[in-house]
Homo-oligomer: A and B are copies of this chain.
């Protein structure tokens, strides 16, 4: 057999179209500002793809590029100005931040504009079952489930990788959807034994082809989030052979990454509406 595709192109296109219609009906253009420091090509690429989608759906965006050597104080000053700017609905400080303490910067972002969902108050509200801005990648995984009718209720969901940006918030979201959730990671003793029990398996480590076919339950829904560049080619955490075992599989590229970009815009719309008491 061959797994059905959890096609990020299809699901994100549907989502983007819904966002475009919703934004057109708002009566104003939400504004999303990007901040990046230095000239890391991957950071520049990520920001550019989000900018492009923002423009396409009617979100105004401004990108602030600060030079290598920017101090923490200079960055905090910019964040403070964006917090204070009434017309800015969301901001995204692209990580990593060379030579700057990320925690200090994340804490300084107005939680109401924190479209990356990394401010402790958003993290805490998520885990407390409250309204929150939630990181885009985990939201994208849930949206893919919804698009393809995969119901997490009662399922064994195994997440490999415990990052603040993906693994942990996704655990909270799948738990809220009534999955039995397992968080596995580099210190997990017998990873294959854990992953083989998963009805929903998410790999978010950044270790090429970590998840081999023999580690996957027949018919499982497998989400590949990890991403590594090998000689210019993008490689996921999931071995291509998994397609022969899984029931559903995200392609790489064309899977979860596209959902992430769309969800950044969705978060911006959410932030813009809540700031105006529209949601």
Contacts and interface: CB of A to CB of B under 8 A. Distances in A.
Interface of A: 103, 118-130, 153-156, 162, 164, 168, 171, 175, 178, 180-185, 187-189, 194
Counting from the closest, the 3 A-B pairs by CB-CB distance are: A124-B124, A120-B124, A123-B124
11 contacts: A120-B120, A120-B125, A121-B121, A129-B164, A154-B187, A154-B188, A156-B194, A178-B185, A180-B185, A180-B188, A182-B182
B130 A119 contact: no
Nearest to A167: B175
A166 to B, nearest CB: 13
Nearest to A103: B130
Contacts of A119: 124
A180 B175 contact: no
A181 B180 contact: no
A275 B4 CA distance: 56
Contacts of A184: 180
A130 B120 contact: yes
A183 B172 CA distance: 10
A187 B153 contact: yes
A88 to B, nearest CB: 22
A175 B183 contact: yes
Nearest to A189: B154
Nearest to A123: B124
A180 B182 contact: yes
Contacts of A194: 156, 180
B130 A127 contact: no
Contacts of A118: 128
Given A120-B124, A127-B168, A153-B187, 13 more contacts: A118-B128, A120-B120, A120-B125, A121-B121, A123-B124, A124-B124, A156-B194, A171-B171, A171-B183, A180-B183, A180-B187, A180-B189, A181-B182
A178 B183 contact: no
A182 B174 CA distance: 12
A156 to B, nearest CB: 8
A125 B124 contact: yes
A203 to B, nearest CB: 15
Contacts of A183: 171, 175, 180-182
Contacts of A153: 187
A119 B125 CA distance: 9
